[in-house]
Amino acid sequence: ASMEEDQWCEMNFRQAEALVLNFSASNYFLPSFLSSMTKLKVLIVLNYGSKRATVNGLPAPSSLTQLRTIRLERLNVPSLQEQSRAFQSLEKLSLSLCEGLGNMSRFNSTQSSLKLPIMLDFNLDHCCDLEELPPGICDMSSVENWSITNCHLLQKLPDDMGKLCSLRMLRLSACLGLKELPDSIGKLGKLEYLDISLCECLKELPEEIGQLKKLQVLDMRECSRLRKLPKSVEGLKSLKHVICDEKIGQQWLRVKNSVLKELRVEIVDAHFSLDWLDG
């Protein structure tokens, strides 16, 4: 099924601040009146079909200057380069089950970096063609929640991740191809929650992780290749709860007994492992 431009009735929603579009189609044309919704603050577009939908008719960024929240689900997203100006006023961005983020690699630091200066909540989930993050993505001095989950092709995070100076929650769960965390993660001085569960290719934690003085919860279950903790974890004085597997759990128990007396170590059963690849 599809939704064409001429199937929309002309409607006047000039005062509306939120628009939610639910549909099931492989091709979907956004309503032309969207460009006249100059007070729009929230745009949610959800495709309930079995396949990702191609969306057309996105208005020029100059007509959506009040937009603060975008949530897109199961879509082939348009080029982010073309819409990067509209993103500069965003506070919340959520893309789930979307394709097209592979075009992020076309950004470069001198011409068209993706700038999200007032972002508070950033979420990418099940974006299956996301291989790398563009330059400038970490220029979010206000962001508090940063979540990139189930993006299996992502192998590396930006080296300047430490610029996310207001970050409180970082979720990287099920990024199966992620091989390392950047050393600059130690600069996330406000970080309270870190989730690296199901990062099956992650073999070690950087020594700088011990600089996360406000970290309270660390979820590292099913990181089957991560077998040794850096000595610096003894400096995580605010850490209250660690969730992990049996192998690494024994190391955490030794840290608990020697230094972090109040630490709760929760050892969970592994449900999935890539250990057989090492054979």
In the chain, residues under CATH classification 3.80.10 are 1-154
CB 84 within 8 A of CB 59: no
Closest to 247 measured CA to CA, from 262, 263, 229, 271? 229
Second CATH level (architecture) for the domain 1-154: Alpha-Beta Horseshoe (3.80)
Q: Which long-range contacts (CB under 8 A, 24 or more apart) does 266-270 make?
A: 266/241, 266/242, 268/221, 268/243, 268/244, 269/245, 270/221, 270/222, 270/224, 270/245, 270/246
Q: What is the pLDDT of residues 141-181, one digit of tens each?
A: 899 999 999 999 999 999 999 999 999 999 999 999 999 99
Q: In sequence order, what are the residues at sequence separation of 6 or more whose Cβ sits closer than 8 angstroms to the Cβ of residue 246? A: 267, 270
Q: State the chain's mean pLDDT as an integer.
A: 88
104 in Cβ contact with 81 (< 8 Å): no
In this prediction, residue 275 has a pLDDT band, given cuts at 50, 70 and 90, of very low
Over 60: is that where the pLDDT of 16 sits? yes
Alpha-carbon torsion, ordered 91, 74, 82, 37, to 10 deg? -60
CA 79, CA 94: separation in Å to the nearest integer? 16
pLDDT in tens, 236-273: 999 999 999 998 999 999 999 999 999 999 999 866 55
How far is the C-alpha of 175 from the C-alpha of 183, rounded, in Å?
18
Beta bridge partners of 72: 45, 95
Residue 278: band (very low, low, confident or very high) from pLDDT cuts 50, 70, 90:
very low
pLDDT one-digit tens code per residue, 52-72:
999 888 877 678 889 999 999
Residues ≥6 apart with Cβ < 8 Å to 279: none
